[in-house]
Amino acid sequence: MPTLLRDKPSSNVPPTVPAGPEQGVIEEARRRQRIRRVRVALGALLAMACVTALVWAATGGGSPASPRHGDRSDSAGATHSKAPVAAGFHLRLSPALDGGQYGWCVRVEEGSGGIGGGGCAMTPVTSAPLAMRMSGGSAVTGRYSIVVVSTPQVAAILVNGRRRVPTIVPPGLPYGLRAARIQFRAPPIPRHTRVTSTPVPRHVASPPPEPTIVALDGLGRPIPNRVVREPIERPNTSGHGPCTLHASGLHGLVPQWSHLASTIRPFPGKLVGRAFFSCIDTEYYLQHWPLDAAILLDAAHPGAVPAAIPGLTPVAGAPGFFNGPGDFKGELTATRHGNTWLVVAGGRNLAQRIEVLRHLAPTVKL
């Protein structure tokens, strides 16, 4: 018999009493009673385990089937419902850092064999439902893709007047912005006709024409697209502007070049959510590592306290510093300096970016 059910001497029977037939019946009854008690206890434990499993399953259990934190209510009041994030399709936003640029850089990340890329200076406004359009593909595989970032009221994209592609809310997009991925194909280049070192390429396929796309609201109606003309920032070669960055006290930190804004002006048009304006960025080198430092202002109201930078989280052990993904320049580390963000991207690691930030002095003249 298992150890859990092993009999113990009863304290009610003196050890000198011989074990007769009556005593054997009593001991057998006691043994069966103990077995019943153990079975009842095991049954209760099993029932509790089943109830726990059912509750875990009903609440999602922290599994991918639980509600996605990226799903948001539609701030524009469209009637479309929340759509799941397409598998293998992700977007990531970070502030545009080049001096004189407004808005965001968008990074497209697709699944294996997919198309990656992105672009900068996206400034979503309420009057332009299609905030950004990025395309890419391969003539060898014949796969092409268009990724569209839209304002919250866009429920679907009408492709070539026939196919509807619903928009989704990827986790990487703030302020209720939505996105859609339009995929299309063209005949791939056969292996024997691919471009090689031969002087005259043969039958090289050209990319197909991109489809026409129209934004639709929750009732399937086209949304007018009124393009907002952003301020044209001419290259500032004078070396002087309203913003400056000065580095001191860190041996080996050497500036290489800068982009400077000539003036600071509020962004025209009504922005969806918040955005930033970079009034200067400077490329530094430290221990052979490139780092891009920039001063970010609120795009709509320069001089006001800018919003939090999406995707950045507080750095443990370094109060006032935030870190997270950036654009092609690398990870981004930021700290508030008055009514600005002072940011550094790239470099060797987080510790180096924080060290550089601690030795930079920004100035802004509004």
The DSSP line for 270-328 is -BSS--EEEEEEEEEEETTEEEEEEEEEESSSTTSPPPPPTT-EEPTTSTTEEEE--ST
User: Considering only CA atoms, which of 218, 137, 132, 147 is closest in space to residue 181?
Assistant: 147
Give the pLDDT confidence score for residue 71 in this predicted structure. 33
Lowest mean pLDDT among 36-50, 66-80, 116-130: 66-80
Q: What confidence tier does 251 reach under pLDDT thresholds 50, 70, 90?
A: very high
Percent share of the chain, pLDDT over 70: 66
Tell me the mean pLDDT in the region 279-286.
97
Cα distances (angstroms) measured from residue 6 to each of 20, 33, 71: 21, 13, 57
User: Considering only CA atoms, which of 351, 215, 202 is closest in space to residue 287?
Assistant: 351
Tokens 């007047």, residue located? 161
How far from chain centre, in Å, is Cα 161? Answer: 31
Q: What confidence tier does 84 reach under pLDDT thresholds 50, 70, 90?
A: very low
Tell me the mean pLDDT in the region 296-324.
97
Lowest mean pLDDT among 25-29, 138-142, 362-366: 25-29
Tell me the range of 49-58, 101-110, 250-259 where mean pLDDT is highest: 250-259
List of domains in the chain:
89-216 (no CATH), 243-364 (3.30.200)
Tell me the mean pLDDT in the region 97-118.
80
* Gap between the Cα atoms of 361 and 341, Å rounded: 12
C-alpha atoms less than 13 angstroms from C-alpha of 69 in its C-beta half-sphere: 3
Q: Which amino acid is at 327?
A: D
Cα distances (angstroms) measured from residue 257 to each of 159, 175, 244, 284, 359: 43, 34, 12, 8, 18
> What residues form DSSP beta bridges with 247?
360
Give the pLDDT confidence score for residue 191 in this predicted structure. 58
Give the pLDDT confidence score for residue 116 in this predicted structure. 66
Q: What is the chain's mean pLDDT, rounded?
A: 77
Tell me the mean pLDDT in the region 342-351.
98
* Gap between the Cα atoms of 216 and 84, Å rounded: 18
CB 357 within 8 A of CB 344: yes
Q: Does the pLDDT at position 199 exceed 90?
A: no
CB 42 within 8 A of CB 4: no
Q: Does the pLDDT at position 182 exceed 50?
A: yes
Q: Does the pLDDT at position 100 exceed 70?
A: yes
User: Considering only CA atoms, which of 139, 243, 134, 233 is closest in space to residue 190?
Assistant: 139
Tell me the mean pLDDT in the region 252-262.
95
Phi–psi pair at 53, nearest 5 degrees: -65, -40
* Gap between the Cα atoms of 149 and 157, Å rounded: 11
113/274: higher pLDDT: 274
Give the pLDDT confidence score for residue 169 in this predicted structure. 92
Give the pLDDT confidence score for residue 140 in this predicted structure. 77
* Gap between the Cα atoms of 286 and 291, Å rounded: 8
> What residues form DSSP beta bridges with 293?
282, 344
Q: What confidence tier does 271 reach under pLDDT thresholds 50, 70, 90?
A: very high
Question: In residues, how long is the chain?
Answer: 366
User: Considering only CA atoms, which of 260, 283, 270 is closest in space to residue 364?
Assistant: 260
121/41: higher pLDDT: 121
Q: Does the pLDDT at position 75 exceed 70?
A: no
